[in-house]
Structure 1
Amino acid sequence: MSEVVICRFTEGDVQGVIDVILPIQREEFEIPISAADQPDLSDIPGFYQVGSGDFWVAKIDGVIVGTIGLKDIGEGQAALRKMFVAEAWRGREFGVATALLQGLLAEAKGRGIGEVYLGTTAKFLAAHRFYEKNGFSEIGENALPERFPRMAVDTKFYRIALA
């Protein structure tokens, strides 16, 4: 099996990112959303790659199979966004999700981020288990920082401290 390579997003990755994210949102989870409904996807450098934030892709044999974003929200806090792994590449045997998350957390800590928050939908049950296994704790919406970028579809929220 080919190795998973985590790379910092570049402009040439735009279509690959959309090709991973949209089918998961629309077909797998039946969320009626388009790329146009997600302005962060049309300007990943301007939305994510500022301050202590960034955006990474997971590639296998040069093909994007996963994505993850870190949005700097100030005061040593960040939001984890756009973590998606193509269905064919999920599971412990491939390690794509773990590589993406561990890479993001290491980078965040190295950049002085002390806390990472995330929001997800109630439908993403496997994601809930994954985040909890990786040290995230569920929190109430009222415990989110004021600057946290809430998405309308998010109903569950998590936090991890990187002390």
Structure 2
Amino acid sequence: MAGDRDGNGNYRGSATVTITATDAQSGVRTVEYAIDSGGWAPYPGPVRVGAPGPHTLRYRATDRAGNVSAEKTVTFTVVASGSDACPDSDDRPTVVIGDDDTGVANRDTGNGCTINDLIAEHADYPDHASFVRHVEAVTAPLVANGVLTRRSQGVIVRAAARSEIGG
């Protein structure tokens, strides 16, 4: 766990969780994690959690022989850092574009803005292609920073492409 902590041990603004797994016999094939009540996802690297509140991160590994480790957990609390870039956040539990609920968790991106805030489906776009390019552009760094998996990004971009937003 990494991040700026307050006097109570809470993480200010965000916490970053790094998972390591080893297997001396056959080697590690995959590592997965899940945040709070979310589903399992491939571990892309350090996971940053910025949504204020208590959190539980679950994790497990599978070795090359197919053995799955026992689920382990780490619990922590994130408190606001005082710099909320989106004070009126779209805090729906999942990313929604138009009428399409993607099922992807609408996570805080680290500065008080959610994924839905960054997508900004109600902003003005000159045409539909511009909106889709915008969604691709705002989700790419979220993949690089471990907020989204590539698969989740693809689900969101496809929902943007199916929408009628823009123009």
TM-score, normalised by the number of residues in structure 2:
0.29
Which one has a larger percent helix, Structure 1 or Structure 2?
A: 1
TM-score, normalised by the number of residues in structure 1:
0.30
If you compute each CA radius of gyration, which structure gives the higher value, 1 or 2? 2
